[in-house]
Structure 1
């Protein structure tokens, strides 16, 4: 017999999963927008122009995918989840944004 913490009656596991997914999607959205803003202020000495363009393309594509996932989530009549194959590249992209931010700070760039 396993232990499971009490869940409020009004919050089923599906509802909790949906709330968690919503929060995660919001976080991704914020970081993707932050990445685009950082790229707008990123000097070539921090990241070469060709790498900036690649990162920007990935961020723009990820925003489109995220928008589609968010729309599907809102339209779904039941709570839903996303596969790790979908989330993993977004997570890697978020890490790229963190790394860009850290590199800009190391180079003394005032962050927006």
Structure 2
């Protein structure tokens, strides 16, 4: 019975955590690209730099978690105390990205 429970936990980690870590990597990569290549005019330079630094730091945390997950044969989880701030940062980046796209549509570059 014990091994069945462990298998279930391991499958749960593989089914949920693995794609979640990949999603975090994807969204932080997109956010980092936007923040490094565009001037987000509704943020101050300092705010944009601070957001970029938080994205870079969190990217490293996610990469470390993914490496540990892989190194343990997909048996190590991630504490929800780490996941919650990552999710909040993704949500913050989505808001910035949506506002930036909206701002770009309302104020197209002049040629």
* TM-score > 0.5 by shorter chain: yes
Question: 2:36–2:52: 8 Å Cα contact kept in structure 1?
Answer: no
C-alpha distance in structure 2 between counterparts of 1:43 and 1:105, whole Å: 12
Root-mean-square deviation (Å): 2.0
Alignment partner of 1:96 is 2:92:
yes
1:56 matches 2:49: no
Task: Say yes or no: does 1:72 pair with 2:72.
Answer: no
Aligned mates of 1:108, 1:17 — CA distance in 2: 40
Match of 2:23 in 1: 27
Residue in 2 aligned with 1:7?
none
Paired residue total = 100
Stretches of structure 2 lacking an aligned partner (at least 5 in a row): 1-6
More helix by share: 2
Deviation at 1:20, TM superposition (A): 1.2
* 2:77 aligned to which of 76, 81, 96: 81
- Aligned 8 A contact 2:40 2:100 in 1: no
**What is the distance in 1 between the residues matched to 2:40 and 2:13?**
41
Instruction: Give TM-score, length-normalised by structure 1.
Output: 0.79
| TM-score of the two chains, using structure 2 as the length reference | 0.79
| Alpha-carbon distance between aligned partners in 2 of 1:44 and 1:101, rounded to the nearest angstrom | 9
